[in-house]
Amino acid sequence: MASISPARRALAHAPWSPAAWRDTTFVASGVPLQFAGWAVLGSVWPFWAPVNATPIFLVLAGTCALTLLALRPLTRWQRERCWAMLGLHIPSIPGFDEGRAWEVLRGLRKPEVWRMLRYHLIVGPLLAFGGLATIAAWAGGAILACTGAYTWALPDTSPLSSVDKAHAVRVGMLSVVGVLLLVAAPWVAAGVRRLDARAAVALLGPDRAAELERRVEDLAEKRASVVDAADLERRRIERDLHDGAQQRLVSLALNLGLARETLTGVPDDAMRVIVEAHEEAKEALTELRNLIRGLHPAVLEDRGLDAALSGIAARVPLEVRLRVEVEPRASSTVEAVAYFVVSEALTNVVKHARATAVDVAAIREGARLRLTVADDGVGGADPSRGTGLTGLARRVRSVDGTFRIISPAGGPTTVTVELPCAL
């Protein structure tokens, strides 16, 4: 961002500039509102000042209750002042600005109430003194700068009387001081305005840290719901393929196989077509079964992670030493992620590691499910070079899990994944 030159900054804060009058109007309008908190707090004492301890306690409790009741309107007026004069929007606070007026009396345990009390009883009055200083600078500067215009009307005994020989020097000095005050007044107004705006945003609006925390929680919930929805959609597709297309292919393969075995007297060309169609149907059925298994294996939902991982290990053309301890079961989404993590990791081992054996462990430790896949291959696996590791890490992070891989050149390679079970 390009910096503003000193000349342009000085011109922007000139006494005749719109910004100077806007800032002055803003800080001046805030003076009565910023003293209003103490005015409400001390409203009863001028009319009744008890001397005994019990009445004093009752009056103090009553004035504190009045101050709490005044928090909402005072806060609303301050927000409207910021919006009307500065265009600064301060959002309302959920749970505080709604409901009946007296409900705020039960909100002393809420940090929002204490932040607003801090503004109306401490920060606001201090800013009000800044507003008074701004008004004094404008008024005093105008009076002193125009000293020469009214000294003729002063009595002869006045130090500024024109009868005095030092009249011109004094009037000139006071005029210079007045001009300096007029030049300084816009800067004072701008400083008070900036402090007031920052304090209003910090104390009269939602807590930024709490708002960010709430947004993070909301995004985490939305992401978890998206992951669950994707898992449910995969299950639906798996059921549709299993109950629809797969059954049709099974029927087709059976009919072609029956035709292949029973038909006689068929020309060789026709029989060749039947045989090829039968083989194609069987290959298509195998591919479809692999696709269904990749979407969401039915054994995972029916019998759990132990049986599903055992099925993966049985299909790997390597020695797989499997250890599964996952009681109680995790959520279906976490189980699906764990299944696909192990499946993809074993696929990578078969394709790239040149290993002879793999150790797979899935152990639940409290609220975490730890997965470990270790092979005795050549190592050198690098997620930045692909091999499915990047997608694997992305799938793990989708459920707030952690993914680590140790794969020095020459091996061995160990993939460690931790998944939260509280989803």
Query: Contact at 8 Å (CB) between 137 and 184?
Result: yes
Closest by CA position to 364, among listed 304, 295, 418, 294: 418
Q: Domain ranges in the chain? A: 6-206, 211-295, 304-420
For 380-423, what is each residue's pLDDT tens digit?
877 766 556 777 888 888 788 888 888 888 878 889 999 888 64
In single-letter form, the type of residue at position 68 comes to: L
- Residue 267: asked if its preceding bond is cis (omega within 30°), the reply is no
pLDDT at residue 55, as a whole number: 64
Confidence band, pLDDT 50/70/90 cuts, at residue 1: very low
- Helix, strand, or coil here: 398? coil
Within 10 angstroms of residue 256's Cβ, the number of other Cβ atoms is 20
39: pLDDT strictly greater than 60: yes
Kindly tell me if the per-residue pLDDT of 47 is higher than 70: no
CB 207 within 8 A of CB 111: yes
**What is residue 182's three-state secondary structure?**
helix
Tokens encoding 301: 């939902």
More confident residue, 191 or 289: 191
Encode 36-66 in three state secondary structure. HHHHHHCCCCCCCCCCCHHHHHHHHHHHHHH
Distance from C-alpha of 320 to C-alpha of 360, rounded to nearest angstrom: 7
pLDDT at res. 17? 80
The average pLDDT across 27-56 equals: 70
Query: What pTM was computed for the model?
Result: 0.51
pLDDT of residue 160: 57
Least confident among 20-34, 86-100, 175-189, 390-404: 86-100
Nearest to 417 by CA among 347, 408, 405, 296: 405
Region 322-329: what's the mean pLDDT?
A: 86
d(Cα 403, Cα 416) in Å, to the nearest integer? 6
- Residue 203 to residue 71: CA distance in whole angstroms: 12
Judged by average pLDDT, the poorest of 35-49, 269-283, 311-325 is: 35-49
What percentage of the chain carries pLDDT values higher than 90?
2
CATH classification (class only), 304-420: alpha beta
Greatest mean pLDDT among 14-23, 145-154, 220-229, 335-344: 335-344
Mean residue pLDDT of the chain comes to 76
> Would you state the structure tokens that stand for residue 45, as one six-digit string?
């004492």
Q: Which residue would you say has higher pLDDT here, 232 or 361?
A: 361
| pLDDT greater than 70 at residue 56 | no
